[in-house]
Amino acid sequence: MHAESNVLGAIGTVNPGDTSLLLISAALVLLMTPGLAFFYGGLVRHKNVLTIMLQSFISMGIVTVLWVVCGFSLAYGPDHGGIIGDFTYIGLRDVGMTPGPSPYAPTTPFLAFFLFQLMFAIITPALITGAFADRVGFKAYLWFLVIWSFLVYIPFVHWIWGGGFLQHWGAHDFAGGMVVHLSSGMAALASVFVVGSRIFRQNENRLPNNIPFVALGAGLLWFGWFGFNGGSELAANGQAAVAFVNTNTAASVGMVTWLFIAWWHTGKASMSGALTGAVAGLATITPAAGFVPTWAALSIGFAAGAVCYLACQFRLRMKWDDALDVWGVHGVGGALGTILTGVFAIASINGMSGLIDGDAHQFGIQIGAVAITATYAFVVTFIILKVIGMFMAVRVSEGIERDGLDDALHGEAAYQPLPVMVAGVDGGGVSSEEMATPGVQ
């Protein structure tokens, strides 16, 4: 989250252009969570579609309440020891129509900045659900959503964007490489080790149930990502334009790179693979979007497609059941992008130099910040799930897992069976109805 280069208005004066960009960007980022629901919903088996989609949508409700009550205040309130904020803005007190006392978003209403930040807080824990898809109970997930937000996400925001120790140290994350993607990716990996692998029926079809859903979700994510990255400049200026262009460039190169590597590896040009590559490119450019030139975004997109694909293959070899490759795409992508920010950043773009601009020290800071945040997210998530498991079952029963979570947990099904008329044994009329679900294996 970057505001230091804002020159369109004096601090304390609301700039209509900056405010419009921030409000539109907030709406774009909100759209990403339903997009994630469709993306994940298409990738899982048909009997668990509603469960994973609800896990994304419920984050919109619960995290909003947390963020209004005290989450935003703890993230962006006055710093205490470089670790956390305080309750200065509890219940959005003094968060209104004028720029607040914070140094962030100095030319937009403080309330607009709050709204933009809320959208990041909503989607981050939802990303984790792809790792433990098909096997975690809804009650346990709700507890995890709340506790993880307070113990991992909010501290990360404060450390990196809210005046905490990593920000003072000099670590840079333009739009969430560490705050969003590395945190959720490492949490995903920890959840796999705690929850364990999925159970499959003999000869059960493990392929995605609805590739068009995956495509719809990926399209919404790509569209919303312009707000995610472009809005993070917090001003309608040239740096925001750079972030917009770099976002699309890295996504495109990531998609093409993943597609051709997978095509060479498997002999098939997979649509779901190409879409996953685009998301990898988006996640990897996120920390660098407003700091690097467009030619560097080409390199970052290529690195995203190649390295994230290899990470997913490594995960398969290690038999880690990260169902939807959250670690390989978001965790590895977030770490890679944060480190490459320290390589390709150019001071003439947004005031920060990386390795190619003569600042090896910044490169080292980026690596150190990745190590700290990755370790913290993994360890604390592991502990959170273990503690929750002491009070309730984190994982559903074997029977529910085999039959599907949608009906058992929510009493609904994504695909309602349609009656298929079957001819009678005498060759005339209709003697029975066979219930079938067209298009679902």
What are the tens digits of pLDDT across the range 86-107? 999 999 999 999 987 657 788 9
What are the tens digits of pLDDT across the range 271-288? 999 999 999 999 999 999
**What DSSP string runs through 356-374?**
GGT-HHHHHHHHHHHHHHH
Percent of the chain clearing pLDDT 70 (strictly above) = 92
What are the tens digits of pLDDT across the range 173-203? 999 999 999 999 999 999 999 999 999 988 8
pTM of the model: 0.92
Residue 419 binned pLDDT confidence (cut-offs 50, 70, 90): low
**pLDDT (0 to 100) of residue 205:** 86
Look up residue 5 and give its amino acid. S
First to last CA, the chain: 44
- 102-114 average pLDDT score: 87
Q: Following CA atoms 236, 239, 245, 246 in sequence, which dihedral angle do they give, to the nearest 10 degrees?
A: -140
Residue 84 β-bridge partners: 80
Domain 16-389: give its CATH superfamily: Ammonium transporter AmtB like domains (1.10.3430.10)
- Beta carbons of 113 and 104 less than 8 angstroms apart: yes
Q: Domain segments of the chain: what residues?
A: 16-389
**pLDDT (0 to 100) of residue 2:** 60
For the cut 50, the answer to whether the pLDDT of residue 309 exceeds it is yes
Q: What is the mean pLDDT of the chain?
A: 92
What are the tens digits of pLDDT across the range 131-163? 999 999 999 999 999 999 999 999 999 999 999
**pLDDT (0 to 100) of residue 434:** 40
For the cut 60, the answer to whether the pLDDT of residue 4 exceeds it is no
- Beta carbons of 161 and 177 less than 8 angstroms apart: no
